[in-house]
Amino acid sequence: MSLLSGVSILAFIQEHNIKNENGVAIDFRDHLFLFDIYKDFSTKLCAMKAAQVGMTTCEIIKSLFMVHHTKLNAIYTLPTDSDIQTMVGSKVNPIIAQNPVFQKWTEDKDTIEQKKIGDYFIHYRGTFTQKAAIMISSDANYYDEIDSSNQKVIELYASRQQHSSHKIEHYFSHPSAPGCGIDIHWGRSDQKHWFIRCRGCNEEQFLDWPYSINEERRCFQCKFCKKELSREERRVGRWVKKYKDREVSGYWIPLLICPWVSADEILNYRRDKSDEYFWNKVLGLPFVGGDNKLGKQQLMQNCTEVVNAQEGRIVIGVDTGKQIHLVAGNSQGLFYYSTTSNYDELDYLLGKRWRTSIAIIDQGGDLIGSRRLREKYPGRVFLCSYGEDRKTESLVRWGAKDEGGTVIVDRNRMIQFVVDNFTDKRIALQGTENDWYDYWVHWNNLTRIVEENERGIIRRIWVRNGDDHWAHATVYFWAGMTRFSNKGSIVGAGTKLEPNSYVVRPDQTVSIDLIKLVRQQENKEGDDWRI
């Protein structure tokens, strides 16, 4: 990093005998894998790590050093304000207290929320108050425990760098699930692995589970010659990039490379802890359990050749935004999904195709078109919003008639409810896997993670890492089904699909071709409805 050219943090640590929060001098003997990370001031850096490997202490010291030498403002985040209170009180302040040079740097306006270093600041902030994220600007952001943080607020903190010419961002956390938090940044990085050398066969290798541990001998072993690896062999290594020329400098730090952790301890973690704990906090790898993702197999098992008769009340779920995403179905299951750039298709489906259908529309993505439809089809179009009500167990709350057609859905619990129904094979999908592949991709972009809110309450929430519109449209569909259908959702025996059956196929332009097809079937080519 050019801003720190000619300045060595390693020389600084040695010259000032820098100590950690416990008053122990920073020594890389057992933390040799941190040596390169301490001196890595890349603009973009991520560390996907196990718990308790020394990264927080590393980044606290690096942030103090960086602000002092570069004259830039920084933000250091943790999930909650209480986390900030704890971390600053138990780590930042003791590190400053143990090192006279840091005391000198921060002697003016030293508080829990900020450290002033010369004319510049490090701001310590939680991620559950959006107001805090929009009040300060920054050149360098340090995101600690990003997977437990509020991702929307993390994005707001990133936006505070818009006027900076530096935009330094360091992400470090134990992971949660694939495609979430630190795993996103790891996927964009050069993915450095810690390579050690076996003194028996002289082969270089990185340690991974289960190949690097012998469960019978309860020891680390060479993956090639199976010789027991000594603590010294695991201690000495080098970082090797998996990919060249990537913007993000990335490090994977499992407990396997920590020489003070024995194979016996690793095996005990495997025996005593949950799979999620073992993968996330021991191996430093994302983990997908059976209930954290809607897998492709779980969804596709619902595909059926039975043709939906499209009888009874049709319910349309609609997610609004730059594009309109909708799904349609009834008590027999889902038979249609599409995306359009305007409300014409939905208007046609409500007014001409299914004249008694109900539409549940996301009210947050668009404020005009959805309300026009509600006015045009009173009693048939309902605007939906997400909200929680701790006083009731209801997943869906319907507004009074005088509220003009509103519904409130418990977001995380209703997503889980729909996932459970797909898993239990209770939502029939008319068509094949090819028909519903694009739809499944939106579900695949949702992952359930564990989150601690600002009050210290642990809960499981569904977070997105890509387009998830059809998933939310399905949630709105199910909200409508709770009121407008009292039948089951398992399709019985029926006829097989005909080539031109009314189901979305990947080789169709959904909005236009499908409507033309329906017109032809209904002999309404002369209709004045405009495409």
Q: Please tell me which residue, 441 or 503, carries the higher pLDDT value.
A: 441
Q: Please tell me which residue, 519 or 400, carries the higher pLDDT value.
A: 400
Quick one: pLDDT band at residue 164, thresholds 50, 70, 90? confident
Given a cut of 50, whether residue 90 has pLDDT beyond it is: yes
Q: What pLDDT, on the 0 to 100 scale, is given for residue 389?
A: 64
Quick one: pLDDT band at residue 485, thresholds 50, 70, 90? confident
Report the alpha-carbon distance of residue 41 to residue 78 in Å, rounded.
20
Angle CA 327–320–304, to nearest 5? 15
**pTM (whole model) above 0.75:** no
Report the alpha-carbon distance of residue 480 to residue 359 in Å, rounded.
8
Given a cut of 90, whether residue 404 has pLDDT beyond it is: no
Q: Provide the Cα torsion 484, 490, 495, 500; round to 10°.
A: 60
The owner of tokens 């008590």 is 331
| Antiparallel, parallel or unpaired: β 358-362 and 315-319 | parallel
Calculate mean pLDDT across residues 122-151.
82
Q: Which helix (H) or strand (E) holds 358?
A: strand 358-362
Quick one: pLDDT band at residue 462, thresholds 50, 70, 90? confident
Nearest to 453 by CA among 67, 82, 13: 82
Given a cut of 80, whether residue 277 has pLDDT beyond it is: yes
469 φ, ψ (degrees, to nearest 5): -65, -45
Nearest to 350 by CA among 323, 370, 331, 366: 370
Rg value, the chain, Cα: 28
pLDDT in tens, 211-245: 999 999 999 999 999 999 999 999 999 999 999 99
From the CB of residue 252, how many other CB atoms can be counted at a distance below 10 Å?
A: 24
Report the alpha-carbon distance of residue 371 to residue 218 in Å, rounded.
65
Q: Provide the Cα torsion 62, 64, 65, 71; round to 10°.
A: 130
428, 334 in Cβ contact below 8 A? Answer: yes
Quick one: pLDDT band at residue 442, thresholds 50, 70, 90? very high
Burial classification of residue 487, based on how many CB atoms lie within 10 Å of its CB (0-12 exposed, 13-18 middle, 19 or more buried): exposed
Q: What pLDDT, on the 0 to 100 scale, is given for residue 369?
A: 86
Q: Please tell me which residue, 488 or 278, carries the higher pLDDT value.
A: 278
Please, what are the domains in the chain? 2-192+241-253 (3.40.50.300), 303-522 (3.30.420)
Calculate mean pLDDT across residues 335-343.
93
Quick one: pLDDT band at residue 354, thresholds 50, 70, 90? very high
138, 73 in Cβ contact below 8 A? Answer: yes
Rounded (10°) angle between helices 411-423 and 469-484: 90
- What average pLDDT does the chain have? 85
240, 36 in Cβ contact below 8 A? Answer: no
Sign of CA dihedral 460, 318, 497, 440: negative
Nearest to 235 by CA among 515, 445, 401, 33: 33
Quick one: pLDDT band at residue 528, thresholds 50, 70, 90? very low
User: What is the maximum alpha-carbon separation in the chain?
Assistant: 87
Rounded (10°) angle between helices 469-484 and 433-444: 100
Q: Please tell me which residue, 254 or 460, carries the higher pLDDT value.
A: 254
Calculate mean pLDDT across residues 164-190.
90
Quick one: pLDDT band at residue 290, thresholds 50, 70, 90? low
pLDDT in tens, 365-397: 777 888 899 999 998 999 999 987 666 668 898
From 13-22, 35-44, 335-344, 381-390, the region with the lowest mean pLDDT = 381-390
Report whether the peptide linkage leading into residue 210 is cis, meaning its omega lies within 30 degrees of zero: yes
Q: What pLDDT, on the 0 to 100 scale, is given for residue 7?
A: 84
360, 346 in Cβ contact below 8 A? Answer: no
